[in-house]
Amino acid sequence: MKALVKAESRPGLWLQDVPEPRIEADEVLIKVLRTGLCGTDLHIQNWDPWAQKNVPVPMVTGHEFCGEVVEIGAGVRDVAVGDLVSGEGHLICGRCRNCRAGRRHLCIKTRGLGVHVPGAFAEYVKLPATNVWVHRDITGTTDLDVLAIFDPFGNAVHTALSFPVVGEDVLITGAGPIGCMATAIARQVGARHVVVTDVNVDRLALAKKMGATRVVEVSKEKLPDVQGELGMKEGFDVGLEMSGNPRALSDMIDNMAHGGRIALLGIMPGAAAVDWNKVVFNMLTIRGIYGREMYESWYAMTVMLQSGLDISPVITHRFPYSEFEQAFAVAASGESGKVVLDWEQ
């Protein structure tokens, strides 16, 4: 089969012929239809220090996808050939304390699809049946491109729903695709104001399209002024940090209400400074977010789409998989939302 492979320990990905996966009794084989490009994929392509440390070579990359089940193992009961599915890309051990307690997203031995095990940038991918999400309730009502980005959509859901937001004022720092999806989610579930900050005007325009009350180009405007404009008197109730930028986190902390709550998804530099006195004296709560809750986030994604949530505007570019180099360039440019590869072309 054709697959995008990190074939050598240097920058680049290569479209190669590799063997089709062979499934075990508890696994399913999926014909890939669409895949989404993620920041992780860009790290692997660029072969930065994180990728060099974590990704064995050779490796079929990619973890955001949707596809059709074409084969099931002898022990599989809840997935059928012909099902339209997406996949949870965190493969867990099932035996550690958190797994046994039902907190599978906290598994201490998590392996990543397309990072530690062969991934979905390929004509076929295999997964344990327990990692397969069947789109029984929305098949035919949601396009394949949207189903392909359930993985980052789940990150946005996990982050945005970490704290109650009904009637609250929400600050989102970082207008990348996940920040933009979180914007739509916060509005869907009843936030009063959703303010989104970034330095990229194209992405701020996308955040506005996704429902932001106000977008803020931080090089030109200050958050206290925006609060005044919106009639806010005591700061933001909930912060969703999506940028991984220490200055954005600092601005967020400065503009939170006393007792405010921050969900931290963006990955900060290791030495990012925080004024902990402000956290302590303002009694702020900071919660780290990783991946999706398995599988509560997946359920929430499905029912929100059923209830009318539209995340399709966040998908701005589509390419056949053979044009992956152009797709990766667009994704890295900062002038796009989600980029999708079509594996049927």
Q: Is the pLDDT of residue 41 over 80?
A: yes
Q: Is the pLDDT of residue 24 over 80?
A: yes
Q: How far is CA 272 from the centre of its chain?
A: 22
The three-class DSSP label of residue 191 is coil
Average pLDDT value for residue range 316-343: 96
Pick from 141-145, 238-242, 297-301: least confident: 141-145
pTM above 0.85, yes or no: yes
Average pLDDT value for residue range 291-298: 94
**What is the Cβ-side half-sphere exposure of residue 239, based on CA atoms within 13 angstroms?**
30
CA–CA distance, 260 with 239 (Å, rounded to integer): 8
Q: What is the mean pLDDT of the chain?
A: 96
The single residue of 40, 142, 197, 302 carrying the catalytic annotation is: 40
Phi/psi at 177 (nearest 5 deg)?
-55, -40
Q: Is the pLDDT of residue 345 over 90?
A: no
DSSP per position, 241-302: E-S--HHHHHHHHHTEEEEEEEEE-S---TT----HHHHHHTT-EEEE--S--TTHHHHHHH
* Span 122-161, pLDDT tens digits: 999 999 999 999 998 776 677 999 999 999 999 999 999 9
CA–CA distance, 283 with 265 (Å, rounded to integer): 20
Tell the residue number behind the tokens 């429902």, with chain if given: 211
Contact 45, 13 (CB under 8 A): yes
Average pLDDT value for residue range 24-43: 97
* Span 76-117, pLDDT tens digits: 999 999 999 999 999 999 999 999 999 999 999 999 999 999
Based on the residue annotation, tell me whether 63 is a catalytic residue of this protein: no
Residues in the chain: 345
Based on the residue annotation, tell me whether 90 is a catalytic residue of this protein: no
Average pLDDT value for residue range 318-323: 98
Nearest to 117 by CA among 45, 63, 43: 63
CA–CA distance, 46 with 25 (Å, rounded to integer): 36
CA–CA distance, 255 with 307 (Å, rounded to integer): 32
Q: What is the CA radius of gyration of the chain?
A: 20
CB-based contacts of 218: which residues, under 8 Å, 6+ apart?
197, 198, 199, 248, 251
Q: What percent of the chain has pLDDT over 90?
A: 95
Q: Residue 334's pLDDT is what? A: 86
Phi/psi at 110 (nearest 5 deg)?
-60, 135
HEC secondary structure over 116-176: CECCCCECEEEEEHHHEEECCCCCCCCCHHHHHCHHHHHHHHHHHCCCCCCCCEEEEECCC
